[in-house]
Structures are given as structure tokens and as C-alpha cells.
């Protein structure tokens, strides 16, 4: 039996900008010193080896030493993680890409990678004794919060744009959440959350305004390494809204290198955005000093309609450090790509995932990605939730 102390090696929280330390035993949101996200830090254990993963559960909690839950009784799990990395033979042949891979997150609980972040965050909310959680969402995170709160015996309040497809609303209600609909994008939902929090005592799980969703999402990075026998790809394309997955994977690569699990070879990280909402692309190209006043419009890839990502600075840092870049693609092309992948591979992926193929084709034509490279498309969700806008 492991004691609670051995279960996690969580040590403290650090401001992502200046490094100021905060206690991991207290409830924090973001770092007040710099108004930036807080990042969990671990005493990376020499005693945690890759060999220890053998025979462990096929969920993200197999990496429990580098996840933040102190007492295992607080883990709220619905079987998230250990999603497959698929070999898309027909896409490989069509585009002459012998090293193309797809990590498919659509099989997660509630049909998206959001399950990982919400499993971690709701577990920490439970550990902190919270009874109610609240989230502004573009869609998928709301369903995931609702499901994990149901499993935890907690109340969920989900604040979502009114134009989001019906399935995203229905699932929240079915899981017993209170659903608040707002005219506008996720940034307007965030304002509504701030207003509701003045009168309701609740645990705020807004993207990167608390440190735990990032920890759940980083397990995608651990899995990519483990599933590819500890050889990271050359390029990862990731659909970027709030940036949690992108930042999380980069953090995982860093932690694994420090533990000696992987070498120093890192993938170039490509942040794929929607043409209707591309704040990172605009800042990257110098069209604005930062995204604070960026005005975006909805996208069929609702997860990409995030006009003012709180963690912009961290997203840009990952792109620079990895020698990657951001790129935006039109909605119509995303839908075409979803259909191509469905017909060729039997995979009905989210438009956010479809956007990756469009971006890949563009970067191949510009010579920024080579045909021989090991390229991983990270499909974040299931297309089934978006059907009303796709067929
Ligand atoms: C399917 C899907 N892909 C990508 C994203 C963007 O995720 P992130 O916040 O990690 O950038 C979202 C967020 O809602 C999503 O639902
Ligand atoms: Zn700071």
C-alpha cells in the first residue's frame, strides 16, 4: 500500500512569469504577483521510473507521481486517457506522409480531451472540500465538468455561448449541471462567471486561472512519449484555443527530460487556430502587442473561438522555444477535412481536429514541414457532438 505522501511528488506552485512560489496546500487561482497562470512544481522523484508504469491502470492516473492529488480517495476518474495513437494508412498514402500519426482523444469520457483536465481539477476541488464548481466554456469543457462533478457528488455550473450546438447543452443538463447561456463567446461567459461568483461560493475552473486542468492535460505528453517508445515526434499539430494542451504537453516533455525518460529532442509545436478567431497568429505576426483587445467571431470549431486566452504569454513561449509557429485555417476547409478523414480512415473527428489536416497541407506546401518527418496530429474531440453543423 502506498501512503498518501508517496502518491504524488507535488511540492509547490510557481508563478509562470517570475517564479514566485505559492503553497500547494492552499487554494489558489492564478498568480497575483504578475497576473499570470500558476504552475504546479514537483520534486521530480528519482524513484519514479518508466518501468514502474508496466501493469498500471490504462488511464492518465498511471502517472500519479506527477499528478497533484495527495490522497487517492479524492481521485474522480471516468477512465480518461491512454487514448490510441493511430496509423492513418490512407492519409499517409494520399499525402505522401509515411510518418503521419493521429492521437485520437475522441474516446475520452464526454468525447474530448477536456476529460483529462476536468478529472484532475474536480479531484483537486474534492480534495479542497468544494461542493460547487463553475466554468466558462466553449462547449466541451462544460460537458466534462458536468460529468466529473456528477461522479464526485458535486454541483456544476456551466456558462456557455448560446450558439453552441444543442448536444453540448443537453449533455450538461443530463449530468445534472446548472446551465447558463450567454450571447457571445467564451470571453463573455468568463464575465458572467465573475458576476455569478460574487454571490455563489464555488471553485472556479476557468482555463489556466487555476493550476490543475493543466496537470491533467499534460498527461497527453506523457502518453505520446510512452506510446512512441520514448521517441517524441518531430512535429505536433495542436488545435489551440486557451492553450492548455499545448502548454501541458510542453511541460510534460520538460518533466520527462528532467527524470531522464526522454532525450533533449523536442517536437516543433504548431498551434492551429480558426480564421475567424486567431489571436495568437495576430500577436505572433506583430499585428497587436497582445490579445487583450482582440475581437473574434464564432467558429464551427467552437473550442477555437477563444479571443483573449489568459495564458497567451505561455503559448507564445512554447511556440518560440519549440521553433514552432501558429497558423489559422477557414471553417469551410475544416469541414472538408473532417469529411476526408471520415471517408478515408473511418474516424469522425471534431472540426478542431479537421483543422490540423488543413494546416498540415499548408505547411507542407510552404516547405515548413517535410514529408519524411514524424508528424503527430492531436485530434482533441469527437465529431459526433458537432453533427448538426457538419452534415
Ligand atoms: C475539441 C477542442 N479542441 C481544442 C480546444 C482548445 O483547447 P485548449 O484550451 O487546450 O487550447 C477545445 C476547447 O474548448 C476543444 O473543445
Ligand atoms: Zn509573478
Query: Which residue from 277, 352, 356, 378 has its CB within 8 A of the most atoms of ligand 1, so it is best to mutate?
Result: 352
Out of 3.40.50.300, 3.40.50.1100, 3.10.129.10, 3.30.300.30, the CATH code matching 114-204 is: 3.40.50.1100
Rounded alpha-carbon distances, angstroms, from residue 71 to 10, 43, 65, 81: 12, 17, 12, 20
Q: CA triplet 182, 188, 190: central angle to 5 degrees?
A: 105
Pairing of strands 155-161, 132-136: parallel
Q: Does the pLDDT of residue 347 top 80, yes or no?
A: yes
Q: Does the pLDDT of residue 5 top 50, yes or no?
A: no
Name the closest-CA residue to atom 13, ligand 1.
Answer: 303
Q: CA triplet 158, 164, 169: central angle to 5 degrees?
A: 45
Phi, psi of 280 (to 5 degrees): -70, -40
List beta partners, residue 278: none
What pTM was computed for the model?
0.97
Q: Which helix (H) or strand (E) holds 336?
A: helix 331-345
> Ligand 1 centroid vs 316 CA: distance in angstroms?
17
- Distance between CA atoms of residues 176 and 174, nearest Å: 5
List beta partners, residue 378: 103
Phi, psi of 28 (to 5 degrees): -125, 160
- Distance between CA atoms of residues 27 and 381, nearest Å: 30
Categorize the per-residue pLDDT at 6 as very low, low, confident or very high, splitting at 50, 70 and 90. Answer: low
pLDDT in tens, 38-72: 999 999 977 899 999 999 999 999 999 999 999 99
Q: Does the pLDDT of residue 4 top 70, yes or no?
A: no
> Ligand 1 centroid vs 352 CA: distance in angstroms?
8
pLDDT in tens, 126-136: 999 999 999 99
Out of 3.40.50.1100, 1.10.1060.10, 1.10.540.10, 3.40.50.720, the CATH code matching 85-107+216-390 is: 3.40.50.1100
Residues with CB under 6 A from ligand 1: 112, 114, 138-141, 207, 239-245, 303, 350, 352, 380-381
pLDDT in tens, 71-81: 999 999 999 99
Average pLDDT over residues 324-353: 98
Query: Which residue from 116, 218, 245, 246 has its CB within 8 A of the most atoms of ligand 1, so it is best to mutate?
Result: 245
pLDDT in tens, 145-188: 999 999 999 999 999 999 999 999 999 999 999 999 999 999 99
Query: Which residue from 107, 112, 359, 377 has its CB within 8 A of the most atoms of ligand 1, so it is best to mutate?
Result: 112
Average pLDDT over residues 324-345: 98
Domain with CATH 3.40.50.1100 in the chain: 85-107+216-390, 114-204
Rounded alpha-carbon distances, angstroms, from residue 232 to 106, 242, 244, 261: 21, 23, 19, 11
What percent of the chain is modeled with pLDDT above 70?
98
Amino acid at each position: 500500500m502506498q501512503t498518501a505522501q508517496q502518491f504524488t511528488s507535488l511540492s509547490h506552485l510557481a508563478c509562470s512569469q517570475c517564479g514566485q512560489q505559492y503553497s500547494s496546500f492552499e487554494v489558489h487561482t492564478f498568480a497575483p504577483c504578475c497576473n499570470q497562470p500558476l504552475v504546479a512544481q514537483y520534486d521530480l522523484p528519482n524513484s519514479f521510473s518508466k518501468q514502474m508504469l508496466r501493469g498500471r491502470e490504462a488511464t492518465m492516473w498511471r502517472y500519479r507521481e506527477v499528478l497533484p492529488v495527495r490522497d487517492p480517495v479524492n481521485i474522480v476518474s471516468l477512465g480518461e486517457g491512454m487514448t490510441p495513437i493511430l496509423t492513418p494508412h490512407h492519409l499517409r498514402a494520399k499525402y505522401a506522409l509515411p510518418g503521419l500519426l493521429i492521437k485520437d482523444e475522441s474516446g475520452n469520457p464526454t468525447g474530448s480531451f477536456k476529460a483529462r483536465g476536468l478529472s484532475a481539477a474536480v479531484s483537486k476541488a474534492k480534495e479542497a472540500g468544494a461542493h460547487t464548481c463553475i466554468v466558462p466554456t466553449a462547449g466541451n469543457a462544460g460537458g466534462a465538468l458536468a460529468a466529473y462533478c456528477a461522479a464526485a457528488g458535486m454541483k456544476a455550473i456551466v456558462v456557455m455561448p448560446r450558439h453552441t450546438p444543442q448536444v453540448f447543452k443537453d449533455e450538461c443538463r443530463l449530468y445534472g449541471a446548472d446551465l447558463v447561456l450567454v450571447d457571445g463567446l467564451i470571453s463573455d461567459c468568463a464575465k458572467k462567471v465573475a458576476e455569478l461568483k460574487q454571490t455563489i461560493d464555488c471553485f472556479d475552473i476557468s482555463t489556466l486561472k487555476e493550476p490543475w486542468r493543466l496537470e491533467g492535460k499534460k498527461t497527453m505528453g506523457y502518453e505520446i512519449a510512452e506510446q512512441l517508445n520514448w521517441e517524441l515526434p518531430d512535429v505536433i499539430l495542436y488545435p489551440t484555443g486557451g492553450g492548455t494542451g499545448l502548454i501541458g504537453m510542453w511541460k510534460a516533455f520538460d518533466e520527462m527530460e528532467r527524470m531522464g525518460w526522454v532525450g533533449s529532442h523536442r517536437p516543433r509545436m504548431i498551434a492551429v487556430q480558426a480564421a475567424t478567431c486567431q489571436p495568437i497568429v495576430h500577436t505572433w505576426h506583430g499585428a497587436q502587442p497582445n490579445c487583450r483587445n482582440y475581437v473574434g467571431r464564432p467558429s464551427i470549431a467552437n473550442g477555437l473561438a477563444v479571443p483573449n486566452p489568459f495564458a497567451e504569454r505561455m503559448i507564445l513561449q512554447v511556440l518560440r522555444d519549440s521553433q514552432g509557429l501558429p497558423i489559422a485555417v477557414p471553417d469551410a476547409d475544416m469541414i472538408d477535412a473532417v469529411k476526408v478523414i471520415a471517408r478515408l480512415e473511418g474516424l469522425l473527428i471534431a472540426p478542431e481536429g479537421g483543422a490540423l489536416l488543413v494546416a498540415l497541407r499548408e505547411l507542407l506546401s510552404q516547405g515548413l514541414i517535410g514529408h519524411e518527418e514524424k508528424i503527430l496530429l492531436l485530434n482533441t474531440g469527437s465529431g459526433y457532438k458537432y453533427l448538426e453543423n457538419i452534415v
